[in-house]
Structure 1
Amino acid sequence: MSMSHQTARSSTSATTARPRSQSVQTAINILTFLLKSPTSAFGIVVLALLILTAIFAPLIAGHDPYMQNLENTLSPPSAAHFFGTDELGRDIFARIVHGSRITLTIIFLVTITVGPIGLFVGTVAGYFGGKTDVVLMRVTDIFLSFPSLILSLAFVAALGPSLNNAIIAISLTAWPPIARLARAETMTFRGADYISAARLQGASPARIIWKSIVPMCLPSVLIRLTLNMATVILTAAGLGFLGLGAQPPMPEWGAMIATGRRYMIDSWWLVTFPGLAILCVSLAFNLLGDGLRDALDPKQMTKR
């Protein structure tokens, strides 16, 4: 009896270890594929620098981003102030470095909100079809009929200008594309043999959606989320520029451009460096999303 139990236990552990090793190997293959592409590698490097900058901001900045020095206002880039100073004498480099924390916070919170909402709405609509599909997709179409920035402005105007409300507004407007994609993927898989077999075994719709359909939708949703992050960053910067996002004196990149636009003719560095920060991070997400799309392409995976 003990030998049979040990044999069963070892076979079970081998079975569970095999999928884990396969998933790890798949992740390594995808990362290797991304690093081989110059554009994807650029996106990974920029996003890694963004994360490291946000983590070690106090060590990198060199100056207090909130400290004013009215005797050194609108100073051009120099050895003392790499990106110059603003109209209140604050170090722009320090403010951009600390602003990376705000940008990363927006990206993280929007991602963990938009992904589950879009997956839930899309998979439920695609799996059940009928009236459920009609109702959920018409609500999705209503959200999609408005430009994301305009709809975000409406939500922030209703909730009040603040960073938290801007994140809520962006999340409320960013989930519809994810839902449409998840619905299309679900409608492709719901007639598969393994879904029919799960139904015959008595699996509930919730279990089928969670265990069988959601994992199949994740690669496409991950790509879409990555590509959407560029739009999220631009929307957050737009809200900050209009004074409806992060409020002064927070060093948010869009708000920095808004305050610096009055001096941009003579003091170009006020808007140039925050704008370049927004450009680089948005471009990095677009390039990484394109690389993920190629890496997760079944044709590419068969070649590897």
Structure 2
Amino acid sequence: MKNAEVVRNSDYSLKARHNPEYTRVALFVKSFKKLCRNPLSASGVIIVALLLICAIAAPLIATHNPLEQDLARVLASPSLAHWFGTDEYGRDVFSRLVYGSRVTLYIIFLVTIIVGPVGLLVGTMSGYFGGWVDSVFMRITDIFISFPSLVLALAFVAALGPGLEHAVIAIAITSWPPVARLARAETLTLRNSDYVVAAQLQGASACRVLFHYISLMCLPSLIVRLTMNMATVILTAAALGFLGLGAQPPLPEWGAMISTGRSYMLESWWLVAFPGAAIMLVSLAFNLLGDGLRDLLDPRTE
């Protein structure tokens, strides 16, 4: 057994030495297996993967045109023809849910690419430079954190006007402060570490130290935070859509679907049940995935 293990390790070393890509692929496979070893994390991965598949292959998965109205089948109950029933305009609820996954991923993607760099930049600069830079950035952060995120998002959307893009901007404005706080805490821990001091002694500029060393070391914690923050983004977007301030009709959005279906909730339960279940499952999936990534990226765990 020991000889076989030595042969496998030697084979891996030879392949890794001659092909660096082999090392990256092997590490990715090993990390993915470790992530899926936990049943809860694996459940999160599966649900997020299904969401991606639904968004990418929506025309192939949807059974009907999500915008097509059929007034002869208004509020039809779930059946073989319409798996999740129809809404008040005769539109297929299942197809609208499938296409609604595109809206959800669109919001998540835009909010993440705004919040991640902004929070990382503000947090690392605040923690590294300190002094008046830290005071100014953290006081601004405190102002944003002092308001409930949903109330603040409602205020920004009310000022900008209803719409999907305005909802994305409002959610991003209210989501960056926790990320900045986390980046600042990581930077305060890292700025006096040996490798940062060594880089400074070698003549590295403040920008190089900040972006080439500290920011890279902050990424694992920020990835976990952003992944878990996606659940909050989904709930906030659904709340704005429910209030009519997010995606506008006839665009299929899960929160807006619940808002229009609440008037028929007693006799047509599927109008609220299926979009609500989708929001709950996807939010739970991102939380489970974030927990798994935290365990995976934590150097204290094996």
TM over 0.5: same fold?
Answer: yes
Structure 1 match to 2:93? 92
Q: Is the 8 A contact 1:148 1:173 kept in 2?
A: yes
Inter-partner Cα distance in structure 2 for 1:24 and 1:207: 29
The answer on whether the counterparts of 1:239 and 1:245 sit within 8 Å (CA) in structure 2 is yes
Q: Does the C-alpha gap of structure 1 residues 182 and 23 become closer, same or farther in structure 2, counting only changes over 3 Å? A: farther
- Residue number in structure 2 paired with 1:5: none
Residue 235 (structure 1) aligned with residue 233 (structure 2): no
SS in 2 for 1:255: helix
Matches within 5 A, 1:18-37: 23-37=24-38
Please name the residue that 1:116 is paired with. 117
Q: Within 5 Å, give how 1:124-273 maps onto structure 2.
A: 124-273=125-274
- Corresponding residue of 1:285: 286
TM-score, L = length of structure 2 = 0.92
Alpha-carbon distance in structure 1 between the residues aligned to 2:181 and 2:227: 16
> Secondary structure in 2 aligned to 1:77?
coil
Which stretch has the larger CA shift, 29-38 or 100-109? 29-38
In the alignment, structure 1 residue 81 sits paired with structure 2 residue 82 = yes
Cα distance in 2 for partners of 1:22, 1:139 equals 43
Cα deviation 1:147-199 (Å, max 9, x = unaligned): 11111101100110000000011011111111000000000000011111111
Aligned to 2:102: 101
Counterpart Cα distance in 2 of 1:131 and 1:17: 48
User: TM-score if structure 1 supplies the norm length?
Assistant: 0.91
- What residue is the counterpart of 1:41 in the other structure? 42
Amino acid at match of 1:214: S
Given that 1:30 and 1:296 are in contact with CA atoms closer than 8 Å, whether structure 2 keeps it comes out as no
- SS at structure 1 position matched to 2:76: coil
Q: 1:21 to 1:130 in 2, by over 3 A?
A: farther
Instruction: Kindly provide the amino acid, as one letter, of the partner of residue 100 in structure 2.
Output: G
Measured after TM superposition, the shift of residue 215 of structure 1 is 1.0
Q: Which residue of 2 aligns with 1:295?
A: 296
Equivalences for 1:56-67 in 2 at 5 Å?
Answer: 56-67=57-68
Mapped partners of 1:229, 1:16: distance in 2: 39
In structure 2, C-alpha distance between the alignment counterparts of 1:277 and 1:149, rounded to whole Å: 20
Displacement of 1:23 = 4.8
1:3 corresponds to which residue? none
Higher mean alpha-carbon deviation, 25-34 vs 44-53, is at: 25-34
Question: CA-to-partner distance for each residue in 1:131-153, whole Å, 9 max, x for gaps?
Answer: 10010011011111111111110
Mark the CA change 1:21 to 1:178 in structure 2 (over 3 Å): closer, same or farther.
farther
1:4-61 Cα offsets, whole Å, 9 max, x none, are xxxxxxxxxx99976x665544433321111111111111111111111111101111
Aligned length: 287
Larger CA deviation: 193-202 vs 32-41: 193-202
> Kindly, what percent of the aligned residue pairs are identical?
64
Write the distance in 2 (CA, Å) between the matches of 1:179 and 1:48: 28
What runs of 5+ residues in structure 2 fail to find an aligned partner? 1-15
The farther-off stretch of 252-261 and 288-297 is 288-297
Supply the distance in 2 between the matched residues of 1:276 and 1:232 (Cα, whole angstroms): 16
Cα distance between partner residues in 2 of 1:174 and 1:195: 29
Task: From the superposition, tell whether residues 154 and 30 of structure 1 become closer, same or farther in structure 2 (CA, over 3 Å).
Answer: same
Distance 1:34 1:230 in 2: 19
**Contact 1:82–1:93 (Cα < 8 Å) also in 2:** yes
Are the equivalent residues in 2 in contact too, given 1:123–1:214 (CA < 8 A)?
yes
Over aligned residues, Cα RMSD in angstroms?
Answer: 1.5
Structure 1 equivalent of residue 3 of structure 2: none
Letter of the aligned partner of 2:94 in structure 1? F
Cα 1:36–1:255 change in 2 (3 A) is same
CA distance in 2, matches of 1:22, 1:272: 46
Match of 1:71 in 2: 72
Tell me the amino acid that sits aligned with residue 89 of structure 1: G
